Amino acid sequence: MSSTSTSLLFKSFYEYIPIEDLESLPRKIRGIYALYQKDEKFLNLMYVGMTNYGVKGRLKNHSKNELKATAWTHCSVFEVWDNITLEQIQELEALFRQVLRKDATANKLNIQKRSTRFTKLEKETKSRARPTES
Q: What is the pLDDT of residues 55-109, one digit of tens each?
A: 999 999 888 887 777 889 999 999 999 999 999 999 999 898 888 888 877 766 6
Tell me which residue of 52, 54, 6, 14 sits closest to 34, measured CA to CA.
14
Q: What is the pLDDT of residues 6-44, one digit of tens each?
A: 899 999 999 999 999 999 999 899 999 999 999 999 999
Per-residue model confidence (pLDDT) at position 67: 77
Opening angle at CA 8, ends 12 and 74, nearest 5: 30
Domain edges within the chain: 10-129
As a whole number of angstroms, the distance between CA 100 and CA 6 comes to: 26
